[in-house]
């Protein structure tokens, strides 16, 4: 024995990691190869670059600026339903973008609730298409994330500090300067960078609410180069630009962010002595209510407008729902086959760095991987034949970093706690995996599987590059219904998609957890 | 006979040297200050820490390079000796076949071992449904079915109360008497050593010394041991 004995075999994980790296490298390689033949960027493309950066900056600034008061209110108040609100703040992660967009249209669209209310007082309706709408939708998705991250920062201030400051007679202003401002100065740059990076690669929002020369992102321009011009070298050139931007943003976000927002302990409000004034309480209540309405109204709108239609949709919607379920399950299987071996390899001493492989999925964008795969497949086969397997595969790779975040700590705990006992009892690789590792990791595997299934169910990304009119997932079908202005049917289908996404998440997460033995 | 020949054991930055032998059937306590390397010594014999130098023999065979599960060793750790999601019978059965494909005869052996340690009728329970003492008994039942000539205890009873710990030590004493196994047990408490150990291995200053008669050593401790015992 050269080194210490290992209770898990890192080889399958290394194989899985090599597969992921090879796949992404092949995609990037083919993109760069095709881009060489391209002729640089047109004025339209430069406008797309500027718009991409502008909307990402605005989305990040608004999300974080609004998240700070919400997080502060949640950090210093204890009330009935607080825990529920914090759970709901995690929900946008598994909420399909197209569903949220439809909900936002119901509330903020030209004929939406807000525009109607504005009409009563003689104001023009709210403009949702274009920059406004893209930023609004990004704030809808990222305000909860930013709130969770910043709330974590508040919770990380030790209660003793607040007690000490209160004992010294610090009022709200002094408390802010002593404790809260330094914490925010440290935390906010990272949160801004994370939201900026996310908004840089978001495609479905730009697809549905953007468009035209004034509101086209790079991702959307890639799609247009594919779909409308079938100009592969231009799509490849744009992909190169996108790779540089997302790579840079991911690096910045990785370097300046400290917390990952998955931490526990969010349920514990800090006891405060400086915030019991009537004004402060009223302000916090108003802030929490406003944030809650902003996040819940679009969902309520989808439920209300979808409910009458959901059982009377065109047959093609139901068949696309069936397709989506298959894609989602396929994606989940691929993810588990990749993530579990990689997580196990990551807990061995020699290969702990292997977890970083997952970040590759974050550093590229779905449309770039999609473009690369299309360029690879196109000379050999009709890409639309592979639309569904490719969608499942790409979704699995995009979910990989999140799954590893969930699985690696739990795998490490199992191996640290039971690895030596397994070795002492001569439980070899598969025996240890089947009898110990998988049963012990069941709750985390269920959670990772649920997230992946929901993400994949709601994904509207790479499928739009590959699909032909005969093939569609449910999100793509909803997009097509919107395109032909069948908004009622679209709302019904969106409700169906919402229910399916939440159902697969719940079934995998809860179902698996329920059978977790202990 | 267990023979450790000019061994240097590596545990992270810490090295322990050992050159000693233990006769078959002996009951030996391993004592010494915290961090002196008691667990490192036990870990090297069971195969969890690599040897920088030297060899470990069981009788005539060199086991220095053998995988932990294939050594002639049954071992109990400080904690986590049972898998919480497996039943008591399954936990014990792992000592016979790590894939748990037991023949009816092997299942009988498991039942007999459970009866022997006083866990009759508890085969289907999960470890969480047992008391601390019963959990220790279940782990000892597995040691029994493993039927290995060398039993290593790395303070598995440290979390139990004094009375229960004595009860477990007496059970261990009975079991090794019945099976003729050689026992090495890490201990913090000199009274435990006096209770069941014929000999003591003193570990201090980066060295595991040769076993000495328990009473002689404890009645007249060298300075390092005296400082530890207080």
Query: Per-residue DSSP letters for B70-117?
Result: GSSEEEE-SS--S-TTS-HHHHHHTTT-TT----HHHHHHHHHHHHHT
Helix residue ranges per DSSP H, chain B? 38-46, 88-93, 104-116, 132-146, 162-179, 190-196, 214-219, 223-229
Q: What ranges make up the beta strands (E) of A147-234?
A: none
All residues of chain A having their beta carbon less than 8 Å from the beta carbon of residue B99 are: 427, 431, 435
What the block records as the tokens of A340 is 């579990």
CA distance A89 to A92: 7
Q: Find, in chain B, the residue whose alpha carbon is nearest to that of A433.
A: B99
Asked if the C-beta of A160 comes within 8 angstroms of chain B's C-beta atoms, the answer is no
Sign of CA pseudo-dihedral B84, B87, B90, B95: positive
Structure tokens at B59: 């009788």
Distance from CA of B94 to the nearest CA of A (A): 7
Q: In which residue are the tokens 């607080």 written? A: A82
Chain A residues close to B153, C-beta within 8 Å: none
In this complex, the residue of A1, A426, A517 whose CB is nearest that of residue B50 is A1
Please compute the mean of the pLDDT values over residues B208-227 and round it to a whole number.
89
Please report, rounded to a whole number, the percentage of residues in chain A having pLDDT higher than 90. 42
Asked if A423 lies within 8 A of B68 by C-beta distance, the reply is yes
Taking the Cβ of residue A427 and every Cβ of chain B, the question of whether any pair is shorter than 8 Å is answered with yes
pLDDT of residue A112: 84
**B184 and B42 Cβ atoms separated by less than 8 Å:** yes
Contact A57, A414 (CB under 8 A): no
- List helix spans (H) across A312-365: 315-346, 359-363
CATH entry, A38-306, from 1.20.140.10, 1.10.3720.10, 1.10.10.10, 2.60.40.10: 1.10.3720.10
Cα of A404 to nearest chain B Cα, Å: 23
Residue A216: CA count within 13 A, CB half-sphere: 18
Residue of B nearest to A428 (CA): B98
Q: How far is CA B1 from CA A392, B20, B147, B181, B201, in A?
A: 60, 11, 16, 11, 15
Which pLDDT does position A319 carry in this prediction? Answer: 93
List, in order, residues 6 or more apart from A43 with CB less than 8 Å away. none
Query: Which residue, A344, A489, A365, is CA-closest to A407?
Result: A344
Contact A423 B48 (CB under 8 A): yes
Contacts of A312 (CB under 8 A, 6+ apart): A492
Taking an 8 Å cut-off on Cβ atoms, the answer to whether A424 and B75 are in contact is yes
Please say whether the beta carbons of A38 and A239 come within 8 A. no
The rounded distance, in Å, linking the Cα atoms of A23 and A338 is 13
The Cα of A14 is separated from the nearest Cα of chain B by a number of Å equal to: 23
pLDDT of residue A116: 85
Provide the pLDDT for residue B28: 95
CA distance B31 to chain A (A): 22
* A424 vs B72: CA distance, rounded Å: 10
- In sequence order, the 6+-apart residues with CB closer than 8 A to the CB of A185 are none
Contact B62, B71 (CB under 8 A): no
Closest CA to B41 of B67, B72, B75: B75
Identify which of A424, A428, A423, A5 has the alpha carbon closest to the alpha carbon of residue B51: A5
CB-count burial class (<10 Å; 0-12, 13-18, 19+) for B59: exposed
pLDDT at position A496, please?
96
Partner residues linked to B29 by β-bridges: B185, B200
Contact (CB<8Å) B98/A431 = yes
Q: Quick one: which of A303, A322, A294 has its CA closest to A491?
A: A303
Query: B177, B170, B220, B216: which is closest to B196 by C-alpha?
Result: B170
Tell which of A413, A417, A421, A518 to mutate to test the B interface (max B CBs under 10 Å).
A421
- What angle (nearest 5°) sits at the alpha carbon of residue A305, between those of residues A301 and A308? 145
Q: Which chain A residues contact residue B84 at CB under 8 A?
A: 518
Question: How far apart (Å, rounded) are the C-alpha atoms in residues B14 and A511?
Answer: 46
Contact between residue A67 and residue A152 where contact means Cβ atoms under 8 Å apart: no
In chain A the first and final C-alpha atoms are separated, in Å, by: 34
Six-digit token string for A68: 């700070």
Residues of A in contact with B73 (CB under 8 A): 424
Q: How far apart are CA B73 and CA B51, in angstroms?
A: 17
DSSP helix/strand/coil, A272: coil
- Report how far apart, in Å, the C-alpha atoms of B124 and of each of A440, A461, A510, B28, B120 are: 19, 50, 26, 34, 10
Rounded CA separation A452/A454 (Å): 5
User: Which residue, chain included where needed, has tokens 């962010």?
Assistant: A257
Residues 6+ apart with CB under 8 A from A164: none
The pLDDT assigned to A518 comes to 46
pTM as predicted? 0.84
Which residue of A6, A416, A422, A425 to mutate against B (max B Cβ within 10 Å)? Answer: A425
The C-alpha atoms of residue B148 and residue B56 are separated, in whole angstroms, by: 16
**Per-residue pLDDT at A262:** 39
**Residue B205: predicted pLDDT:** 86
**Residues of chain A under the 70 pLDDT cut:** 1-5, 36-39, 257-276, 513-518
CB distance from A4 to chain B under 8 Å?
yes
Looking at residue B37, the DSSP 8-state letter turns out to be S
Task: Check CB contact under 8 Å for A427 and B73.
Answer: no
pLDDT of B140 strictly over 90: yes
CB B228 within 8 A of CB B38: no
What's the pLDDT score for residue B106?
94
- Cα angle A289, A295, A301; round to 5: 110
- Which positions in chain B have a beta carbon within 8 angstroms of at least one beta carbon in chain A? 46-50, 65, 67-70, 73-75, 77, 80-81, 83-86, 94-95, 98-100, 126, 128
Phi-psi region of A55 (alpha: psi -120 to 50; beta: other; left: phi over 0): alpha
> Which chain A residues contact residue B46 at CB under 8 A?
424
Whether A426 sits inside 8 A of B67 (CB atoms) is yes
CATH architecture of B1-72+153-163+188-230: 3-Layer(aba) Sandwich (3.40)
ipTM of the complex: 0.82
User: Does residue B186 contact residue B213 with C-beta atoms inside 8 Å?
Assistant: no
Domain A1-34+307-518 maps to which CATH number in 1.10.3720.10, 1.10.10.10, 3.30.310.160, 3.30.930.10?
1.10.3720.10
CB pairs below 8 Å between A and B: how many?
Answer: 66
Chain B within 8 Å of A431 (Cβ-Cβ)? yes
CA distance linking residue A213 with residue A224, whole number of Å: 12
- Output DSSP code: residue A382: -
Which residues of chain B lie closer than 8 angstroms to A427, CB-CB?
A: 69, 94, 98-99
| Interface contact B69-A435, CB threshold 8 A | no
Q: For residues B19 and B8, what is the distance between their CA atoms, to the nearest angstrom?
A: 9
Nearest-Cα residue of chain A relative to residue B72: A424
Query: Which of B48, B54, B152 is the mutation pick for testing A, counting most A CBs within 10 A?
Result: B48
In 3D, which of A456, A496, A102, A503 has the Cα closest to residue A316?
Answer: A496
Cβ atoms of B116 and B67 within 8 Å: the answer is: no
Retrieve residue A250's tokens. 């991911």
Q: Do B69 and A427 touch (CB under 8 A)?
A: yes
């Amino acid at each position: 024995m050269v080194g210490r004995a290992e209770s898990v075999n890192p080889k399958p994980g290394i194989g899985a990691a090599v597969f992921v790296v090879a796949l992404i490298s092949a995609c990037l390689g083919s993109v760069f190869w095709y881009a060489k033949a391209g002729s640089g960027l047109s004025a339209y493309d430069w406008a797309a670059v500027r718009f991409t950066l502008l909307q990402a900056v605005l989305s990040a600034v608004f999300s974080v600026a609004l998240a700070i008061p919400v997080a502060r209110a949640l950090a210093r108040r204890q009330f009935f339903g607080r825990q529920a609100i914090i759970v709901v703040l995690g929900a946008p992660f598994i909420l399909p973008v197209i569903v949220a967009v439809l909900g936002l249209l119901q509330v903020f669209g030209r004929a939406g609730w807000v525009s109607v209310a504005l009409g009563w007082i003689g104001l023009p309706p709210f403009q949702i298409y274009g920059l406004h709408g893209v930023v609004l939708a990004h704030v809808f998705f990222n305000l909860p994330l930013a709130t969770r991250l910043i709330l974590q920062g508040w919770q990380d201030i030790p209660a003793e500090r607040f007690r000490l400051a209160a004992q010294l007679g610090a009022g709200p202003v002094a408390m802010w300067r002593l404790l809260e401002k330094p914490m925010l100065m440290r935390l906010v740059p990272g949160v801004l960078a994370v939201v900026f990076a996310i908004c840089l690669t978001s495609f479905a929002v730009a697809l549905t609410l953007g468009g035209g020369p004034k509101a086209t992102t790079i991702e959307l321009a890639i799609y247009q180069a594919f779909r409308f011009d079938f100009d592969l070298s231009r799509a490849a050139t744009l992909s190169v630009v996108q790779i540089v931007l997302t790579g840079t943003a991911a690096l910045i976000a990785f370097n300046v962010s400290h917390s990952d927002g998955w931490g526990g302990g969010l349920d514990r409000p800090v006891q405060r002595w400086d915030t019991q004034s009537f004004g402060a309480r009223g302000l916090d209540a108003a802030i929490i209510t406003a944030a809650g309405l902003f996040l819940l109204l679009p969902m309520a709108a989808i439920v209300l407008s979808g409910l009458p239609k959901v059982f009377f949709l065109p047959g093609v919607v139901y068949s696309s729902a069936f397709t989506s379920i298959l894609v989602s399950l396929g994606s989940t299987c691929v993810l588990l086959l990749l993530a579990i071996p990689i997580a196990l390899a990551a807990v061995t001493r020699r290969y702990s760095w292997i977890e970083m492989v997952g970040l590759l999925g974050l550093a590229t964008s779905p449309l770039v991987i999609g473009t690369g795969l299309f360029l690879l497949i196109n000379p050999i086969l009709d890409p639309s034949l592979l639309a569904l397997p490719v969608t499942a595969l790409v979704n699995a790779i995009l979910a990989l970093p999140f799954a590893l975040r969930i699985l690696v700590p739990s795998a490490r705990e199992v191996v640290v706690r039971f690895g030596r006992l397994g070795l002492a009892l001569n439980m070899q690789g598969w025996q240890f995996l089947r009898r110990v590792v998988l049963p012990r990791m069941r709750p985390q595997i269920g959670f990772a599987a649920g997230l992946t299934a929901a993400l994949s169910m709601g994904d509207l990304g790479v499928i739009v590059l590959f699909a032909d009119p005969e093939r569609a997932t449910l999100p793509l079908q909803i997009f097509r219904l919107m395109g032909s202005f069948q908004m009622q049917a679209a709302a019904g289908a969106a409700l169906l998609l919402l229910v399916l996404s939440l159902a697969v998440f719940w079934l995998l997460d809860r179902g698996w957890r329920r059978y977790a033995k202990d | 006979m267990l023979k450790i020949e000019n061994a240097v054991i590596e545990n992270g930055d810490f090295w322990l040297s050992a050159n000693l032998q233990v006769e078959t059937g002996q009951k030996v306590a391993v004592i010494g200050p915290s961090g002196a390397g008691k667990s490192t010594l036990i870990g090297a014999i069971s195969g969890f820490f690599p040897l920088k130098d030297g060899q470990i023999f069981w009788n005539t065979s060199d086991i220095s390079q053998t995988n932990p599960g294939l050594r002639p060793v049954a071992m109990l750790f400080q904690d986590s000796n049972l898998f919480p999601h497996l039943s008591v019978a399954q936990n014990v059965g792992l000592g016979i076949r790590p894939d748990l494909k037991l023949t009816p005869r092997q299942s009988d052996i498991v039942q007999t071992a459970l009866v022997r340690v006083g866990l009759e009728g508890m085969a289907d329970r999960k470890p969480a449904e047992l008391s601390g003492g019963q959990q220790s008994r279940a782990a000892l039942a597995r040691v029994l079915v493993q039927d290995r000539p060398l039993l290593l205890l790395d303070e598995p009873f440290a979390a139990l109360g004094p009375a229960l710990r004595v009860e477990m030590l007496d059970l261990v004493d009975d079991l090794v008497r019945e099976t003729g196994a050689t026992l090495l047990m890490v201990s913090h408490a000199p009274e435990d050593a006096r209770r069941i150990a014929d000999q003591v291995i003193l570990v201090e200053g980066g060295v595991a010394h040769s076993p000495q008669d328990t009473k002689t050593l404890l009645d007249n401790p060298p300075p390092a041991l005296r400082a530890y015992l207080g």
